[in-house]
Amino acid sequence: MSDLAALQTRLSYRFRDEALLRLALTHPSIAHEQGAPVQHNQRLEFLGDAVLQLALTRELYEKFPDFNEGPLTKARAKLVNRRTLAVHGHALGLGEHLVLSRGEEINGGRDRSSALADAYEALVGAIFMDGGYEVAREFILREFGAAFGSLAVIPILENPKGELQELFQARSPEAPRYHVVSTTGPDHDRVFECTVHHAGAELARGAGKSKKAAESEAALSALEKLRAETNRPTGDLVTRP
C-alpha cells in the first residue's frame, strides 16, 4: 500500500488513528477474496453518508431560508450523488490507495466510480470517528465549498432521462440508449454503473444503488456535458415558493 502521508496532506487532515483511514480505503472485495471475515469500508461508508447528508443539509437550510423541503431535497441530491462523490474521490487520489482484491485490481477497480464514491463516503466516516463532527463538517465544507458558491438558486432534478430524450428529439429520431456496464457489491447492497449512448457514441456514465438510479445519474451527467458544450442555459432553476 502506498504511503498515506501524501494523502493526508491532500486531505488537510492528519489522522490520530491511521487505522481508520486504512479501513476507509479497504474495498469489500478483500473479504470476498479471502473467504473469511475481514473488516472493510462498508460500515464507514454507511456512517459517512449520514455525516455528509447532515452537514450539507444544514448548509442548505441556512443558505436558502425561503425554500421548503422539496427544493432543498433536490439541491442536496445535486450535491451528493454517486457521480459527484466519485469525482471528489478521484480528485483526492483515493484510487491509488485502495486496498483491493486481485480480481478487482485486474478489472480496473481503482478507477471504478462506484469504488471511489464508496471510499469517499467511508473517508468522511473515518474523519468523523477520528476527529468528531465539527472536524468532519469542516472537511466537507472545504470539499463542497465551490459547489455551494455556484449554487445561487435551487436546482430541479425531476426527470433527467426525460429531459435528455427531449433534447435529442429535436435533433434525431433515435432515442438515447442505456447499458449496465458493471454491477458490484453483495446482493443486499448492489451498485450499478450505467452508460448512456446516442448514435453509437457514449455520452456519459452514472452509478447508483439501482439500475434506474444509475441511468438517471448517467442522463444528468450527459445533460450537463451537452449544455456546457453548446453554452445552453441549464434550465435548473425553480421559482421561489
Q: Could you say which of 45, 104, 121, 215 is catalytic?
A: 121
Encoded amino acid at 199, one letter:
A
Closest to 141 measured CA to CA, from 220, 88, 73, 95: 88
Does 174 participate in catalysis according to the annotation? no
DSSP run (H or E) holding 217 = helix 211-230
Beta bridge partners of 197: 177, 202
Residues 6+ positions from 123 with CB-CB distance below 8 Å: 11, 21, 24, 25, 44, 48, 89, 92, 94
* Catalytic residue status for 202: no
Q: What is the 3-state secondary structure (H, E, C) of 32-89?
A: HHHCCCCCCCHHHHHHHHHHHHHHHHHHHHHHCCCCCHHHHHHHHHHHCCHHHHHHHH
Q: Which of 49, 118, 193, 217 is catalytic?
A: 49
Q: Which residues are catalytic?
A: 49, 121
